[in-house]
Structure 1
Amino acid sequence: MESQAQLQKFRVLRVESEESWEFFLSQAKDQSCPVVVHFTASWCAPSIAMKHFFEELALNFQDILFLLVDVDEVKGVASKMEVKAMPTFIFFNGANQVDKIVGANPDEIKRRVASFAQSFRAHS
């Protein structure tokens, strides 16, 4: 059980810098891997509440790369992606943004991630 909990922690990759952001997106593009990014902040209760949910999504959709960006730690990425409210979830196909959800709405996020995964599988 403990190893599953550890695996869960590592399914969502934390973006530590603008360089790691570029690296993750570049790798995803090169490998034709879809990406879902959770923009969060330590002071935002809805964002914090969504972290566990996001980790569960990552376990259920293992063909998608899930990234976590703290907007206060990686301000340049948040600014470049025009993130103005937390939580914000952005979907990428390659280097292209294809969807964006602002707010903590687990049902809508899960529906869109499932649809995103299905559409990506259909085109692979």
Structure 2
Amino acid sequence: MMRKVLTSQASLCRLHNSHCMSASPRSRVTIIGSDEAYSQITTEGAGRKAIVYFTAKWCPPCKMIDAVVGNAAPRHKDIDFAKLDVDELNETTSKAGVRSMPTFFYFQDGKLQHSLSFSGADEELLRKNVKQLSDL
């Protein structure tokens, strides 16, 4: 039933061309569903911290690191965690300059934190950089 509700919500978002983002009720990781939603999470809000995780369903390293992202999100409530499927949002991925998966972009106050952002499934680096962003 819940899957049907989320699917219906996503369909309505596409139908009305709104800036939709969705998340599982048990997860703090938001699914980015449009270029507008990506822009919103990465540029809005003084004091806002966000991590955008570029992934693909077919990517084995992405599947491996997904649980680490899911476990970090509830521990760092001061950070917005979001996931973007590169196959669903090709143009957004291209504009962002993402060339490999998984890629993690860290943002504070709407600015990309280049020193924290990285590509690869390095669990230790992910945890370390999440903590560093949280401490900023």
% same residue: 27
Q: CA RMSD in A?
A: 1.5
Distance 1:23 1:33 in 2: 11
Q: Out of 83, 96, 106, which is 2:123 matched to?
A: 106
Tell me the matched-pair count. 111
Specify the alignment match of 1:50 in structure 2: 65
Which residue pairs with 1:72 in the alignment?
87
1:15 corresponds, among 14, 28, 32, to 32
Give unpaired runs (5+ residues) of structure 1: 1-5, 120-124
Shift of 1:23: 2.7
Unpaired runs of at least 5, structure 2:
1-23
Moved over 3 A (4+): none
How far, CA to CA, are the matches of 1:77 and 1:102 in structure 2? 17
Which structure has more relative contact order (CA 8 Å, sep 6+)? It is 1
Q: Is the 2:54–2:84 contact (alpha carbons within 8 Å) kept by the matching residues of 1? A: yes
Q: What SS is found at the alignment partner of 1:62?
A: coil
Mark the structure with the bigger radius of gyration. 2
**Secondary structure of residue in 1 paired with 2:126:** helix
1:102–1:50: structure 2 CA closer, same or farther, 3 Å change rule? same
Q: Secondary structure of 1:30's match?
A: coil
Amino acid aligned to 1:67:
A
1:33 alignment partner, one of 45, 48, 68: 48
Residue matched to 2:133? 116
Specify which of 83, 87, 105 is matched with residue 98 of structure 2.
Answer: 83
Residue 7 of structure 1 deviates from its aligned partner by 4.7
Normalised to the residue count of structure 1, the TM-score between the two structures is 0.82
Greater fraction helix: 1
Instruction: Give 1:8 shift.
Output: 3.6
In the alignment, the residues of structure 1 paired with residue 107 and residue 92 of structure 2 have an alpha-carbon distance, to the nearest angstrom, of 14
CA distance, structure 2, for counterparts of residue 110 and residue 68 of structure 1: 16
The amino acid that maps onto 1:106 is E
Superposition deviation, residue 88 in structure 1: 0.4
